[in-house]
Copies of this chain bind each other. A is one copy, B any other.
Amino acid sequence: MNRVLPSWNDGPARTAIIEFVEAVTAEDGSNYVKPDDRLAVFDNDGTLWSERPAYFQLLFAMDRVKAMAGDHPEWATTQPFQAVLEDDLEALSAGGKHALAEIVAATHAGMITAEFEDMVLEWMTSARHPKTGRLYTQMIYQPMLELLRYLRRHDFKTYIVSGGGVEFMRAWAEDVYGIPPQQVIGTSVETQYELRGGEPVLVRLAEINHVDDGPGKPVGINRYIGRRPILAFGNSDGDHEMLQWTGSGNGPSFCGLVHHTDVEREWAYDHGSTIGGLDKAWDEALEKGWTIVDMKEDWQRIYPSDD
């Protein structure tokens, strides 16, 4: 018989996941949850794929900023654009996901949604990560991919709830994670409906509709799903409120944190990090007994192509 979650080492994290799924799916058990309520939400950056040396969407957006800088002389002295033009990832990272959202809004305004999708897909199938030389879609975590599939086999609906741009993720999330567009929640810009030559289009505006980070995550979950998840996975303080919200329902719940502990196979960071900082959520995880996944100890493989 095949072992479930094959890339997970035996240990408390793997055991906790399996025990939870068995408990909520046992029809005669006291913790049974009917399939309609089996909602699982996952952060993306640092939880389903890597986020170093910067959020991957930021690396994508930097290419656009550089291409457009000639028309925007003011960017040379305005953050976060100045940091992009100076390749100053540290200054950029200090701006957090808000800076990312601002750059995306500014560089992709006026573009129609279909063009944006094409541009993302082209980048995802050609750009290479500066350290590993891999396509970014090859830097997803194999153990989390197995977890997504394992949950779906047990009639969970799997959602992404990420600070990343929703249309950036939707372009490839179904192929890469098996998560369809309507189950991807993220930061979004305002769009405007227009007829161009009789054909309706949606134009992306330079105005943000929703910042799906921190307290914006439970807000986004309520807005898009309208129901509380029973399982949530994150890796940073940006996921703190989503984990709190998930852990405060009436029935059983599972809250998990991916802890970046593997400096050799991936990266190691947590407290005080500008990307993926993990402080308040770490303290609450210890206090409430949330499951902490130690990447170095718990994961046999990191990326799908690892041995």
Contacts and interface: CB of A to CB of B under 8 A. Distances in A.
Given A180-B36, A209-B209, A200 B241 contact: yes
A114 to B, nearest CB: 10
Contacts of A184: 226
A226 B166 contact: yes
B227 A181 contact: yes
A19 interface: no
Interface string A209-234: 11000011011001111110000000
Nearest to A169: B226
A248 B199 contact: yes
A195 to B, nearest CB: 8
B182 A224 contact: yes
B167 A226 contact: yes
B182 A222 contact: no
A113 interface: yes
7 contacts: A182-B224, A182-B225, A191-B219, A193-B218, A193-B219, A200-B241, A200-B248
Nearest to A215: B193
A14 interface: no
Place the interface of chain A in its size category.
Answer: 20 to 34
A231 to B, nearest CB: 16
A216 B190 CA distance: 10
Given A193-B215, A200-B241, A223 B188 contact: yes
A185 B172 CA distance: 23
A104 to B, nearest CB: 15
Given A209-B209, A244-B200, A248-B199, A222 B113 contact: yes
Nearest to A188: B223
Interface string A40-65: 00000000000000000000000000
Interface of A: 36, 113, 166-167, 170, 180-182, 184, 188, 190-193, 195, 199-200, 202, 209-210, 215-216, 218-219, 222-227, 241, 244-245, 248
A218 B200 CA distance: 9
Nearest to A182: B225
Contacts of A227: 180-182
Nearest to A39: B182
A188 B219 CA distance: 11
A298 to B, nearest CB: 28
A-B residue pairs, 3 tightest by C-beta: A181-B226, A193-B215, A182-B225
A200 B245 contact: yes
Contact of A218 (B199, B202, B222): B202
A222 B36 contact: no
Contacts of A113: 222
Contacts of A210: 209
Nearest to A185: B224
Contacts of A192: 215, 219
A113 B245 CA distance: 13
